[in-house]
Amino acid sequence: MPIVALKDVRKSFGSVQVLHGVSFFVEKGEVVALIGASGSGKSTALRCIDRLEVIDSGEIEVCGHRVDDPKLDLRRLRQDVGIVFQSYNLFPHLTIAENIMLAPRSVKKMSKAEARAVAEGVLAKVGLAEKADQYPEQLSGGQQQRAAIARSLAMEPKVMLFDEVTSALDPKLTGEVLRVIESLAAGGMTMIMVTHEMNFARRIADQVVFMHQGRIHEHGPAGILDRPTTPELRDFVAEEL
């Protein structure tokens, strides 16, 4: 069974239909790159996977949870699915370690000492072990984004979602964050990422899903970026180079 399955997913905002029957499947340990121009529906599709948006019709199953079920246990879903956004959403009045400890303590009911050990472990994983007791404003944008990734990892998710996590960063800081994501991929983490980083997608994606006007226009291994079969993907790749 795939760990993530979208079947004929449709979503509108008012009179504007954003997703027109989107279907794709992700196996455990796969990395999927969702690509496409702004407004193509890729971020909406990602948000539907974590039930941040409620779909109009179709089916979504993630880690055994039927996300389209009105009776879905959101807390259990979000223990299995981590999501990292373009904005880091770190609490400025808390240290980096305290930011990371919040969810393990409130959701998993860990003791302060247990949660601190988890925070230190995930910060080491993203190369920020020495920043545990600093505040977000003391970190660069790339470091804050890595801390946001560490915060998601602290819940030991089975699937990680990344929504254009490098789009607000300069090239040097982008490289820092992408190296962390690459190390997670090497460790077998299942990931779905909305990205404009085509070279990165070529390097680590098992599947590339190209969305255009709310539909999946092309879908296949990363090689489709070098051999597009539709003019839309050809034009998109050319613009991103």
Q: For residue 241, what pLDDT is reported? A: 65
Tell me if 147 sits within 8 A of 131, measured CB to CB. yes
| pLDDT tens-digit readout, 116-174 | 999 999 999 999 999 999 999 999 999 999 999 999 999 999 999 999 988 878 888 88
**What one-letter code names the amino acid at 79?**
Q
Instruction: Quote the DSSP letter at residue 212.
Output: E
Task: Assess contact for 19 and 10: CB atoms under 8 A.
Answer: yes
CA distances from 149 to 2, 83, 200 (A): 24, 8, 17
Is 158 in a helix, a strand, or coil?
A: coil
pLDDT score of 91 more than 70: yes
Bridge-based pairing state of the strands 159-163 and 190-194: parallel
Determine the average pLDDT of the residues in 21-39: 96
- For the chain, what percent of residues have pLDDT higher than 90? 88
pLDDT tens per residue across span 1-27? 899 999 999 999 999 999 999 999 999
Q: Domain spans of the chain?
A: 4-90+157-240
Q: Which CATH number fits domain 4-90+157-240: 3.40.50.1980, 3.40.50.300, 1.20.120.1200, 3.90.1150.10?
A: 3.40.50.300
Partners of residue 20 on adjacent β-strands:
10
Whole-number Å distance between alpha carbons of 33 and 13 = 24
Q: Could you tell me which of 148, 176, 173 has the C-alpha nearest to residue 162?
A: 148
Q: pTM for the complete prediction?
A: 0.94
Task: Lay out the sheet containing 57-62: strands in order across.
Answer: 16-26, 4-13, 57-62, 65-66
